Amino acid sequence: MFKKILIANRGEIACRVIKTAQRMGIKTVAVYSEADQRSLHVKLADEAVFIGPAPSKESYLVMDKIIAACKETGAEAVHPGYGFLSENEEFARRIEEEGIKFIGPKHYSIAKMGDKIASKKLAQEAGVNTIPGYNDAISGPDEAVEIAKKIGYPVMIKASAGGGGKGLRVAWNDKEAHEGFASCVSEARNSFGDDRVFIEKFVQEPRHIEIQVLGDAHGHYVYLFERECSIQRRHQKVVEEAPSPFIDSDTRKAMGEQAVALARAVRYESAGTVEFVVGADKSFYFLEMNTRLQVEHPVTEYITGLDLVEQMIRVAAGEELAFAQKDLKINGWAMECRINAEDPFRGFLPSTGRLVKFRAPPENASVRVDTGVYEGGEISMFYDSMIAKLIVHGATREEAVERMRDALNGFVIRGISSNIPFQAALMQHPRFMSGAFNTGFIAEEYADGFDASMVPHDDPALLAAIAVFARRRYIDRAVKIGGQHPGFGRQVKREWVVVMHGQHYPLVATPTERGMSISHGDKTYDINSEWTFGDQLFTGTVNGQPICLQIERQGMTYQISHFGLKVAPIVMTSRAAYLLSLMPEKAPPDLSKFLISPMPGLLREVAATEGQEVKAGEKLVVIEAMKMENILRAEHDVKVKKIVAKPGASLSVDEVIIEFE
């Protein structure tokens, strides 16, 4: 077994690998860029080596620097994590040539499977079902349109070396095929250094289901069942679970055996994932093979009891798999939510900055949090948007969903926006709960975006009662202040009005031995809690049932988050509520004459010029944030008065880019 390994990655996955290595008694080496010098993976590792500037192409993607770090520290093996160089055939080959073990498949396996065009041909030869399409590199956008016509719309345009939703577009007509090809080529060149693109038929109403495989150097192969990854937004996975609520045992066996056949055909040694698109009739077609550890691997670990990172390390060290297919069984149900730094109420735009508060739910046998951040750390614009992965396990799917809801309630993040409200809404959506969804679920159910009205809550009066409970706690403290003139102390009334979402909730609060009894109409809430001022987590019981939500006082309001719903109730006397209703509303400023950056990021391109008349729908600027290009277009016909920000500028949220006449 290795004595020391280097992790050629950063963030959550680097921390994940370090934890397993430490449990196995293996020393670890971290590498870090300028942006990551205070990152958690650097703190956790036994040693750390600086490898360059923040942009990944100058640090984490530079093979020479990784190899030099191995030699400097005496690392015997390299774990690449996922992303960066994890599926780079040249990197795996060069590592092996230096006498260092690559904790992953051999370079020839990566070469065959890392190229989506070559992998599809090889899959066909191995007897694996494949999707109709054009499997050779395409010369330009015009040829892409002609090929798309022959296959028949809709088609999927994909970068051959792509992954993680980058270098991928779905085209429904000639115009989208032409534009999609150009975008895919640009994203692929910037992200992977390989701008080859291919086209295949887009299967409508598909499910994205993948099979986890393991192979060793001694010819042993197993599949670790499937993961359901159909809940996606813009081709990026949002929620993953294992097993799939759609797959039956016969389909699972057939998919698993085809995945193993493919792994055997390329002499695969390590953990890998064979991705399939599955139709409504349970027909399945090979999509690609990811020759690395997947982001969603923890759900497989929960249902099998195996540590996949440990298995990768053992295989790389030359050990045989210690189990056969007959030894593997599915235990319960696991689910993972990706907690990302993005604002779901602003079109999921990236959110970067300092984590003022980061308090994950307590981990136990059924709740796991994989993260590479900590309170006080920063979410950088240079890398992906993942803050953490929240994984839960239950005996049934229903129990797993219930545990995920509770865990999301207790996940406190402040300083930046996160997608927790959206994840909470998904966990309560009837289609998700039924398991009757496909990859189009989010696009169909949230076609016009996501807003607070889409977060259900079956008892808003409960949130009003919690606000009154908190208000009374503050007042009860205030009346205890000494030095008050006798007979002039504050008289605390029992009647309150909570103004929330434009509605008035009259409530009556009566202190009890352990808390407060608060009534609204004919409903009473007996609230018991040890909550104290400044604690953003409110835990306790309501009518004997446990409750967990987030609450904090901001000016006159009590910001409350529960099951993804965010409200800002104001607690006041009935007289104060009446007077508030008489106050005029302040009109928002007119910003129609400005193009304002909706996110922090790098201004890559300004397509307009001063004095130009721009038509509705035309491209104005391109902003790069967290490795993704975002195009801002004109909402209506405008004339450009002034270009305020120049290409190359680092933009903050709401910064003016262009002024219109």
Cα torsion for 257, 263, 269, 274, to the nearest 10°?
-80
Helices (DSSP H) in 126-221: which residue ranges? Answer: 141-151, 174-192
CA–CA distance, 535 with 571 (Å, rounded to integer): 19
The separation between the first and the last C-alpha atoms of the chain, rounded to the nearest angstrom, is 69
Dist. CA 384–CA 236, nearest whole Å:
12
Question: What is the enclosing helix (H) or strand (E) of 320?
Answer: none
Pairing of the two strands 367-371 and 638-643: unpaired
Q: How many residues are recorded in the chain?
A: 661
Buried b (16+ CB within 10 A) or exposed e, 61-74: bbeebbbebbeebe
- Residues 143 and 433: their CA atoms lie apart, in Å, by 43
The two structure tokens encoding residue 321: 């798999």
Q: Name the one residue in this structure whose structure tokens are 């290795």.
A: 2
Torsion from C-alpha of 312, 316, 317, 322, nearest 10 degrees: 50
Give the pairing of strands 27-32 and 4-7: parallel
Under a CB-based contact definition with an 8 Å cutoff, are residues 423 and 339 in contact? yes
| Nearest by Cα to 44 from 372, 376, 382 | 372
Q: What is the CA radius of gyration of the chain?
A: 27
- At 167, which helix (H) or strand (E)? strand 166-171
* Distance of alpha carbon 154 from alpha carbon 75, whole angstroms: 48
- Using DSSP, state whether 243 is helix, strand or coil: coil
Contact 367, 402 (CB under 8 A): no
Instruction: Kindly report the number of other CB atoms within 10 A of residue 429's CB atom.
Output: 17
In 256-307, DSSP assigns E strands to: 270-278, 284-290
Which three-class secondary structure state does DSSP give residue 111?
helix
d(CA 275, CA 296): 13
Pick from 541, 562, 468, 474: which is nearest to 506 by CA?
468
Tokens of 332: 């319960």
Q: Rounded to whole angstroms, how far apart are CA atoms 211 and 224?
A: 7
Task: Answer yes or no: 288 catalytic.
Answer: yes
Using CA atoms, how far apart are residues 376 and 277, in angstroms rounded to an integer? 41
- The residue from 288, 301, 336, 552 that is catalytic is 288
Residue 495 C-alpha from the chain's centroid: 44
- The two three-digit tokens of residue 157, written as one number: 């345009």
The count of other CB atoms within 10 Å of the CB of residue 576 is: 15
Instruction: In whole angstroms, give the CA distance from residue 413 to residue 419.
Output: 10
Which residue numbers are catalytic?
Answer: 288
